Structure 1
Amino acid sequence: MLAASAVALSCSSTDEPELQTPADTDAGSESSDASSEADASADASDADAAIFDGKPLPVVCESKPCATELVTTLGADENDGAEGFCVLLDDGTVACWGANGAGQLGRGEAEDEELFDSATAAKVVGLSNVAALDRTCALDKSGGVWCWGSGPFRWEESGVVNARSTSPVKLPLPPATSVARSFKTACAIVGDDDVRCWGDNGLGQLGPTTMNFNGEPQQAELPAGSPASSLAVGNTTFVLRADGSLVTWGGNPGIGRVSASFPDPRPQPISLSGVTQIDATHNNTCAIANGKAYCWGARLVPTKGTVVERALPEPVVAPEPLVRIATTHSEGKYYSFSKRFVGFKPYRWCGVGASGSLYCWGYNTSGQAGTGDQEFVTRATLVDGLPAKVARVRTTMNSTCALLTTGKVYCWGSNYHGQLGNGLNRGRSFVPTEVVLP
């Protein structure tokens, strides 16, 4: 089990000053009929499992401004360390805050203008009628794909190359129904169940049809099956099908299945069924299947174990069925001459329960697990201090943001890049603080 195998690591805290500390709360007493409720719950468990649809609680806007979707941004590459968030607002616009070294806030700065991080959420310039969001790519209601920041956004004769744009660029693609991106690779579902991927192919993320390192959009040769419904892209490419099956290819480990190819560019299904959501980072992946969370990818501690020790999905222990999960990639630089990782930061996770409760665990030196302290959290632990139930959660290495069912967004942890979105520079928070949306 993943939670049981989490390794408690001793890491030094940052020099950020503390912004808030948790208030003391009284522990609630257990009701006298807890036993009977537990029995009733046990009797209904089979029926609940049969009707479990994996959907999070809906967002019902309490007031304006109101967010309906929440994503993390991406920096220039996996070693950037930049952290930030974007939301889709109910008026069809997008607002972002946090790190901006790669132009990922989408504020339209001139090419020679210096870029600054921002703790104030502001709207991405030139975007409207947005229907869906992934990282710093947006899908408008007519199927147009718009991207900004640093990524595979420039088409040249030699292929698609990484470029930086502080304003959204419309990509030359047919109308799409889904889009997903990583640092250097992106994919979209276009037309009638046509999955196309472009950009960096160093780990076979574009599939076996191209040998180009920087490839133009290539149609993925998926095995026969249900239509593609959504995508996720990291070192590995993931296609979630309408029947809940999952097809993967690219970086290995990361594909979540047994393969002798490293990497494996051939799309093949993995053993999970009933998948309703997936979160893929640079080297770590989690999915929700039938209310259970599973995670896999690179090893937990880079210098220990084997490279394939987490190659297959491992179940996550949680207090209740989960409907959403978010994870991070690990950070650190390995120096071969000393055989040491410097600045290593391990994984962390958060999951949204079917009840709307939020649980986090893992790396916690900035209070990003929401436990009110800085201790590594070895199991899924309830996050207190949120004023409403949770619909979505997103994690970076040092901070966490949750979209509530009211349409409000709360963040906690590090504010080094302004990722708390509260208008304050630096000053980490151990408790959830509201993002000031535009």
Structure 2
Amino acid sequence: MGGHDRRTVRDLRRSNRAAVLRRLYFEGPLSRQELAPATGLSSGSISNVATELLAEGVLEEAGSVGSDGGRPRRLLRVAPHCACLVGVDVGETRVRVELFDLMLGEVARSEQPLDADGHDAEFVVRLIEKGLTAVLAHVDAATGPLLGVGVGVPGIVEHPADGGALVHGQTIGWDAVPLEAMLRESVGFPGGRFPNSGCTDGDRVPLYIGNGAKTLGQAEMWFGAGRGARDAVIALIGSGVGACVVTGGEPYAGASSSAGEWGHTVLSVGGRACRCGARGCLEAYVGAGAVLERWREAGGAPDADAAAGDEEAALAGLLEAARGEGSAADAARDVLAGTAEYLGAGIADLVNLFNPERIVIGGWAGLLLGPQLLPAVRETTDAYALRYPAARTAVELCRLGPDAVTVGAATLPLRRFLDAGGSPPAGVALSV
């Protein structure tokens, strides 16, 4: 007996709204006439959806274009100021919080440095709270209400069936940290509501927590170097190393949401010690701290900023030293050459395992080292990977810069909004 289509009228309406909204979000402005073939919907359905979304303030008119002998066609686009989003990046040296409009234009930002307390979970929650307080002061009628907060964290994020995200961050000492509950209970989330959020009493501001490498991957797939690819790997290289594996256009999570821990694949059995406690991990060779450690072993002298824990300044010092002359410059160049070879070998593993169209290198260290190392990385990748898939894989640099994790975190509530066809969370009224 054949199956039955169980979709209700409400489901169909939401699906039609989502199809129109996504096209306009990523490809707009477009006319109603252009939307019909792009979405596969009838002109009547397009008209109904557009009328609804215009009335709700999700869409706005964006001028007109001429047509062949007919009336000008009115263009539609997503209204950037109908709502706002927050992205949080729990990084390696600081917590960055940004408030965005609906089109991910920055409205406000706050950066809180991690100090001697490092990644102590309660301390991180206080920094997030401080950043949220600063940026949410800018939420008003001009920004529209807050749709949600996305948080990108280092480590594996578990979403138990009974709710409340847990974070397993082995390299930062987090073991099943109940981050969602801690944030909900903090002063920054009084009763789950923010001032000016648009949420009524009893409604909770939506909170989404995801792995930082995966949020970076989502941002690059939507807006950066991964756009248009169906199968890709977005790599994050900082002090830690991770990846977002995208297959069929969707991030791959694995059985327990831990897929993409590329930095903890073994490059050398019994090799260098890694922060995770194992030996020979890729991260122990190409993570920022590992690169600097190899430079010190080669006789390099990181500057005072590096001694104070500023890895970015120290890595910039390594690049500068490699441009000089003499034995010290030779040592710096050897370290960079080794890093390119290790990274190329790690990327060759990705090519052989996943056969992606693109591999995109991001993260602050990846972007700092990438321009100089990329030619050697590509050469090494070709040497270690199988020829057929390697010839069909592009290795590129991230286009979104060091803010990519924060932007990606904001896409977590944004994705929910787009999937819901522009319907806001319960209790949130969009401004018209």
- Report the TM-score when normalising by structure 1: 0.23
Query: Could you say which structure has the larger radius of gyration?
Result: 2
Whichever structure has more strand as a proportion of its residues is 1
More helix, by proportion: 2
